Amino acid sequence: MLMCMERGILQAIEALEKENANLQPELMTAEGARRLLSAYARADKLVSFGIAALSRKLDDSSELARLTGSSLTKAKNVAATAKVMASSEDLSSALEHGDISLDQATEIAAAEESAPGAASELVTVAQEQPFHVLKEKARKVKLEAEQHRDLGNRQHQARKARSHSDELGMIHIHMELEPHLGAPIVARAEAEAQRLGRTAKADGRKEPFERHLADAYVSLLSSSPRARAKRPELVILVSHEVAKRGWSDVQEGEFCKIPGVGPVAPRVAQEIASDAFLNGVFYDGTDLRQLKRWSREIPIQVRVALELGPGPEFDGILCTDCGNRFRTEFDHVQPRFAGGLTANDNLQPRCWRCHRAKSERDRRAGPSGSAEP
């Protein structure tokens, strides 16, 4: 049987080599290229299953890296994925039938290892959503499972920073900080970057947001940035029951986390709460209290409620259109010029690009029209 299987694989490789020799993309239509690319992608997924399954027979990841021509890090990830596949039928079957890629399988495997049974839902996410959405969902599943396993102490032990210079002489700084320390730094830097972007636009200069963000971090490290954020620099959502028990643990259905970032240790939240403004959020299992205001500015209580994210997960905000978390802004679903309220039921988070695209659609539709899809 082994010889027969090997012969079949070799025949498939020979057939693919012939097709590669005949491949002439410049003679194809865009639609034809799209269909053929889809077929190549599925073939790649099917091959990935064989590589992952057979890697379990190797004792050393370096041999897998050599045979596949990949990095040692990727080879180790493949080996770890293969180990989880052996105990997860959902994950193994999806890769076996070419429904997911090896990269997707690696993200799912990491979550499945922390939260057994998570693979079924994540496979569906992988088939229906972009890769970054799957990665964020898998990260959330893994963190929520790890919160009950001394995550706070491991995060503290994992903090580090390093730097190096590249061929252009640019200095690269990489830092890994605990969530409750890193989140407010990022909030301050993004607020300053937005201020710098507005100033540059007023002066007729157009630069990518990432450049303004780099300048903002320099400003933050060398002095105090002038911008004031319109939102708290750090919001930690803590279930009342956690505090009542003495900030000792987080049980099923409870929270102790930074929305959109992840869990924090109850002891850390307790330390921050001793010197912070406390806000009570009353949630009835369906919705937060509706708050409305006729103005452009979003009231702070509405902004805080929105940035918790939809319940019952309260997992922070991401772009309604593309799923990105970077540089999100609140957009009026019904535009203000068409009578839209500045209220949490008329506000949706969108990244800068999607916000700009929707605003343009709203402008073309006019005050009484419907925005085109």
| Sole residue written with tokens 């293969």 | 82
Report residue 296's pLDDT band, with 50, 70 and 90 as the boundaries. Answer: low
Q: How high is the pLDDT of residue 372?
A: 43
| Sole residue written with tokens 């028990």 | 245
CB-CB neighbours of 53 under 10 Å? 15
pLDDT in tens, 342-368: 777 788 889 888 998 998 888 888 765
pLDDT of residue 269 exceeding 70, the answer is: yes
Query: pTM of the full predicted structure?
Result: 0.64
pLDDT of residue 30 exceeding 90, the answer is: yes
pLDDT in tens, 175-221: 999 998 998 899 899 999 999 999 999 999 989 999 999 999 998 88
Cβ 106 vs Cβ 77: under 8 Å: yes
Of 132-141, 202-211, 280-289, which range is least confident?
280-289
Q: How many Å apart are CA 75 and CA 51, to the nearest integer?
A: 10
pLDDT of residue 300 exceeding 90, the answer is: no
pLDDT of residue 293 exceeding 50, the answer is: no
Of 17-26, 33-42, 244-253, 332-341, which range is least confident?
332-341
What's the average model confidence in pLDDT over 94-114?
95
The tokens for 274 are 């001793």
Q: How high is the pLDDT of residue 175?
A: 95
| Sole residue written with tokens 């897998």 | 64
Q: How high is the pLDDT of residue 15?
A: 92
Domain ranges of the chain: 39-146, 164-222, 237-365
The larger pLDDT score, comparing residue 288 to residue 307, is at 307
How far does the chain reach from its first CA to its final CA, in angstroms? 54
Report residue 373's pLDDT band, with 50, 70 and 90 as the boundaries. Answer: very low
| Average pLDDT in the chain | 85
> In this structure, what are the phi and psi dihedrals at residue 359, rounded to the nearest 5 degrees?
-60, -40
Q: How high is the pLDDT of residue 287?
A: 63
The larger pLDDT score, comparing residue 78 to residue 224, is at 78
Cβ 137 vs Cβ 108: under 8 Å: no
CA atoms within 13 A of residue 223's CA, in its CB half-sphere: 6
Q: How high is the pLDDT of residue 291?
A: 42
Q: How high is the pLDDT of residue 353?
A: 87
Of 45-49, 185-189, 259-263, which range is least confident?
259-263
pLDDT of residue 369 exceeding 60, the answer is: no
Q: Write the CB contacts of 266 (distance below 8 Å, at least 6 apart in sequence).
A: 152, 238, 242, 247, 248, 249, 250, 256
The larger pLDDT score, comparing residue 132 to residue 293, is at 132
Q: How high is the pLDDT of residue 271?
A: 85
Amino acid at position 272, single letter: I
Report residue 226's pLDDT band, with 50, 70 and 90 as the boundaries. Answer: low
